[in-house]
């Protein structure tokens, strides 16, 4: 099992770890800061031992680092890793913005999330909404930006699964349930939202900057799609 340093130190950029396995193009470490792709969220990139990491993925309880050129890493070797911080922080901003939007869509219109893709260039959120009301959606985005200006802390912690699922509105996904694990990781925007989530987020809403609505699409009878970006104020 790879130790998830990214949960413990989401703002760290460098780390050291021991090589557990390597086939020349994919490297497994005993611990890592690299966040793997999953749940609609893009992965971290960066470097291991000076070699570029182009993709990070998860296989079971292992986190694998795909590198851009063959390495000669040996089992047990200690190497230094560095994540692409600009990419990491932008994904954190995008992800927290998505949680904020989903909270407002849920509280304001009882929308559930039907899909998402958190990425660097732009992100999208699919949601169930009976009537495709563009002005209502634009109002939710405006409200989100007001909350960002007002600021609130964002924190993560673990709860027993049974306890977490007793909390009203913990799950805002239409067709997915939290992992079947004894403990769930909770991401909480203080006073605004709580969701079971394994991703990385900024520590304060004002780090998001500003949410920009890029495009709206009608994807079916009740399914809508919103593309958004985050920008500095």
pLDDT, one tens digit for every residue, the chain (233 residues): 999 999 999 999 999 999 999 988 999 999 999 999 998 999 999 999 999 999 999 999 999 999 998 888 999 999 999 999 999 999 999 999 999 999 999 999 988 899 999 999 999 999 998 888 899 999 999 999 999 999 999 999 999 998 988 887 787 776 666 667 888 999 999 999 999 999 999 999 999 999 999 999 988 788 899 999 999 97
Question: Nearest Cα to 4, choosing from 66, 86, 80, 63?
Answer: 63
What pLDDT score was predicted for residue 219?
Answer: 82
Q: Are 81 and 74 in contact (CB under 8 A)?
A: no
In this prediction, residue 64 carries a pLDDT of 97
Assign 62 to helix, strand or coil.
strand
**pLDDT score at 221:** 80
> Residue 182: its pLDDT value, please?
84
pLDDT for residue 81? 97
Domains in the chain with CATH codes = 3-83 (2.40.30.130), 88-231 (3.30.980.10)
Q: Do residues 208 and 148 make contact, with C-beta atoms less than 8 angstroms apart?
A: yes
CB contact set of 140 (below 8 Å; sequence gap of 6+) = 101, 104, 105, 108, 109
Work out the angle between the directed axes of helices 85-109 and 134-150 (0-180°, nearest 10).
Answer: 120
Give the pLDDT score at 166. Answer: 86
How far apart are alpha carbons 201 and 155 in whole angstroms?
8
Q: What's the confidence (pLDDT) of residue 165? A: 83
């Amino acid at each position: 099992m790879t130790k998830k340093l990214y949960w413990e130190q989401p703002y760290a950029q460098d780390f050291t770890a021991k090589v557990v396995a390597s086939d020349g193009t994919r490297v497994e470490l005993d611990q890592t800061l690299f966040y793997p792709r999953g749940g609609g969220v893009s992965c971290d990139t960066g470097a291991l031992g000076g070699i570029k990491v182009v993709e990070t993925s998860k296989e079971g309880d292992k986190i694998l680092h795909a590198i851009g050129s063959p390495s000669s890493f040996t089992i047990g070797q200690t190497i230094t890793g560095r994540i692409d911080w600009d990419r990491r922080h932008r994904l954190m901003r995008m992800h927290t913005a998505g949680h904020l939007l989903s909270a407002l869509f849920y509280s304001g219109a009882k929308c559930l999330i039907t899909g998402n893709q958190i990425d660097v260039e732009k992100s999208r959120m699919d949601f169930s909404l009976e009537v495709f009301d563009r002005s209502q959606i634009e109002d939710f985005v405006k409200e989100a930006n007001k909350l960002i200006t007002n600021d609130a802390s964002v924190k993560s912690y673990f709860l027993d699964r049974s306890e977490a699922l007793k909390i009203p509105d913990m799950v805002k996904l239409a067709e997915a349930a939290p992992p079947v694990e004894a403990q769930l990781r909770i991401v909480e925007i203080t006073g605004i939202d709580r969701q079971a989530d394994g991703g990385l987020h900024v520590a304060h809403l004002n780090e998001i900057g500003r949410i920009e609505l890029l495009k709206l699409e009608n994807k079916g009878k009740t399914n809508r799609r919103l593309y958004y970006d985050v920008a500095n104020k």
